[in-house]
Amino acid sequence: MLTAVFVIIGVTIPPAPPSLPAETAAVVQFVTAGPVERWRPLVKEFFDPSKVRKAMCILRHESHGKITAKNRYSTAAGLFQFLAGTWDWVAEHTGSPSYRDGGPFDPVWSVRNAVWLEEHAGWGQWTTANRC
């Protein structure tokens, strides 16, 4: 069952009541959580619990939670602002779609590849990590 949700700018929509079907409740939560916090469940799904806070902070600084974020001065794209070369290097190890195929704009692959990169190269891959 697909349920449409309409968002009016400036209007706060309360959390979905527990009586709503799971799909509808998930859509309402996604819409009302805000541009960064709406990604927390996905980040929690893939990052080690001890790294969620830092990952969320980096995501906030890198893309402000906008999955379509694209740096106009570089190839940095997606939630974690992967550069094309870095994305494709990580993609070779994770099996994600390539940069050219839009991989950084897929939120699941963006988070999964951020996990892989952090585990293999550390937080220093993101210049914003020192703010977190």
Residue 119 sits in a domain whose CATH number is 1.10.530.10
- Domain check: are 65 and 107 in the same one? yes
Please state the pTM of the whole predicted model: 0.75
Q: Which domain holds residue 4?
A: 1-32
pLDDT in tens, the chain (132 residues): 444 444 444 444 444 445 545 554 444 444 556 889 999 999 999 999 999 999 999 999 999 999 999 999 999 999 999 999 999 999 999 999 999 999 999 999 999 999 999 999 999 999 999 999
Q: How far apart are CA 13 and CA 8, in angstroms?
A: 9
CA–CA distance, 37 with 30 (Å, rounded to integer): 9
pLDDT of residue 4: 43
pLDDT (0 to 100) of residue 127: 93
Angle at CA 60, nearest 5°, toward 116 and 130? 70
Number of domains in the chain: 2
92 lies in the same domain as 74: yes
For residue 54, give every residue at least 6 positions away whose Cβ sits within 8 Å of its Cβ, in sequence order, or none. Answer: 123, 129, 132
- 81 and 113: one domain? yes
Identify whether residues 54 and 28 lie together within a single domain.
Answer: no
* Judgement on whether residues 27 and 55 belong to the same structural domain of the protein: no
Contact indicator for 64, 35 with CB cutoff of 8 Å? yes
Q: Are 52 and 42 in contact (CB under 8 A)?
A: no
